[in-house]
């Protein structure tokens, strides 16, 4: 049994932790509030991020933004104060590469390794071990933790140099944004054009134009089941903006990305705190 630390016990972190516990690992976690859900599945509560880091040589961080990552790493009772030789930390949150690199450099000064990691998939996919886990950075450390990662996914991939996991996740999310927008346009045209959605959806799912996002969200659109949220339109809009900068840095055209940015900026106020499948409503209102 390996003792594993976990910080970021949200919609992704909780099912990951559950899989780790069910695989026989002791999982030590910290959350400012609501830790009962974690201890209820067999997790061990810690009093601070530093206590998590002290207890585990392998620590997963699945945090929502760069401020949260900064707080658990360098805040009061943060991980940096207890980082040590041989410790491996895996940043599964979608933070910009320069932010992750800054933390990686600081951990390296303590002899610890910080891996660039990403989760590509919805919470339901994580629960079903169907999400892809991307790892990048020090390959020997990635291979060392692979058996642990494979307790919560069937798709663990090492993608090369540090930053590659984040960049590939962003490119993947451009396709997510495109496919959801395409699904919303198709459902809007089909349902308002008199096509039976019970015929439309399976026909497209089995056709050449299908996508994983169409299969997931087209039924949600038809049923107008936009809660609970599987994915945030605001988050997708952020990702598309980050992808635009990648395109600029690469010296390639941003024409399609610019259209997507415009679309999502207009749609986010309509969607609000509901699932991005509510993008359907944007297409139902002609400009």
Residues contacting residue 191 through CB under 8 Å, at least 6 positions apart? 197, 200, 222
228 Cα distance to chain centroid: 17
Per-residue pLDDT tens listing for the chain (287 residues): 789 999 999 999 999 999 999 999 999 999 988 999 999 999 999 999 999 999 999 999 999 899 999 999 999 899 999 999 999 999 999 899 999 999 999 999 999 999 999 999 989 999 999 999 999 999 999 999 999 999 999 999 999 999 999 999 999 999 999 999 999 999 999 999 999 999 999 999 999 999 999 999 999 999 999 999 989 999 999 999 999 999 999 999 999 999 999 999 999 999 999 999 999 999 998 77
Mark 140-155 as b/e (b = at least 16 C-beta within 10 Å). ebbeebeebbebbbee
**H or E stretch at 45:** strand 44-45
Chain-centroid distance, C-alpha 83: 25
Adjacent-strand bridge partners of 89: 59, 114
For residues 224-241, one letter each, b for 16 or more C-beta atoms within 10 angstroms of the residue's C-beta and e for the rest, the string is eebeebbbbbebbbbbbe
- Kindly name the residue from 11, 18, 100, 169 that is annotated as catalytic: 169
Q: What is the pLDDT of residues 79-107, one digit of tens each?
A: 999 999 999 999 999 899 999 999 999 99
Residue 60 backbone zone (phi > 0: left; psi -120 to 50: alpha; other: beta): beta
**Whether residue 169 lies in the annotated active site:** yes
Domain architecture of the chain: domains with CATH: 3-161 (3.40.50.720), 167-283 (1.10.1040.10)
CA distance 272 to 274: 6
Which DSSP category does 29 fall into? Answer: E
Do 134 and 118 meet the contact criterion of CB atoms below 8 Å apart? yes
Phi and psi angles of residue 38, each rounded to the nearest 5 degrees, phi first: -70, -50
pTM of the model: 0.92
From 62, 18, 56, 25, select the one nearest 40 (Cα to Cα): 18
| Count of CB atoms situated within 10 Å of the CB of 107 | 22
Residue from 65, 91, 96, 95 nearest 79 by CA: 91
Tokens encoding 245: 């900068």
**Ramachandran class of 61: left when φ > 0, alpha when ψ lies in -120 to 50, beta otherwise:** beta
């Amino acid at each position: 049994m390996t003792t594993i630390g976990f910080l970021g016990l949200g919609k992704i972190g909780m099912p990951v932790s559950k899989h780790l516990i069910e695989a026989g690992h002791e999982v030590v976690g910290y959350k400012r509030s609501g830790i009962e859900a974690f201890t209820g599945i067999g997790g061990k509560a810690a009093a601070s991020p530093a206590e998590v880091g002290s207890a585990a040589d392998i620590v997963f961080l699945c945090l929502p933004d760069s401020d949260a990552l900064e707080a658990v790493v360098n805040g009061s009772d943060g991980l940096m104060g207890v980082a040590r030789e041989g410790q491996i930390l895996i940043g599964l949150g979608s933070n910009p590469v320069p932010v992750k690199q800054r933390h990686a450099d600081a951990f390296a000064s303590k002899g610890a390794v910080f891996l660039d990691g990403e989760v590509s998939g919805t919470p339901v996919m994580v629960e079903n071990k169907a999400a892809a886990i991307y790892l990048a950075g020090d390959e020997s450390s990635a291979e060392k933790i692979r058996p642990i990662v494979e307790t919560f996914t069937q798709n663990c991939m090492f993608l090369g140099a540090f930053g590659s996991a984040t960049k590939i996740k962003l490119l993947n999310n451009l396709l997510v944004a495109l496919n959801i927008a395409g699904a919303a346009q198709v459902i809007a045209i089909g349902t308002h054009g008199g096509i039976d959605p019970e015929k439309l959806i399976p026909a497209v799912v089995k056709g050449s134009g299908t996508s994983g996002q169409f299969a997931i969200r087209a039924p949600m659109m038809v049923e107008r089941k936009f809660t609970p949220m599987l994915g945030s339109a605001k988050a997708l809009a952020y990702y598309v903006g980050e992808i635009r900068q990648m395109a600029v840095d690469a010296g390639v055209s941003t024409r399609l990305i610019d259209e997507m940015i415009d679309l999502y900026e207009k749609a986010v106020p309509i969607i609000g705190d509901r699932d991005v499948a509510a993008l359907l409503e944007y297409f139902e209102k002609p400009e």
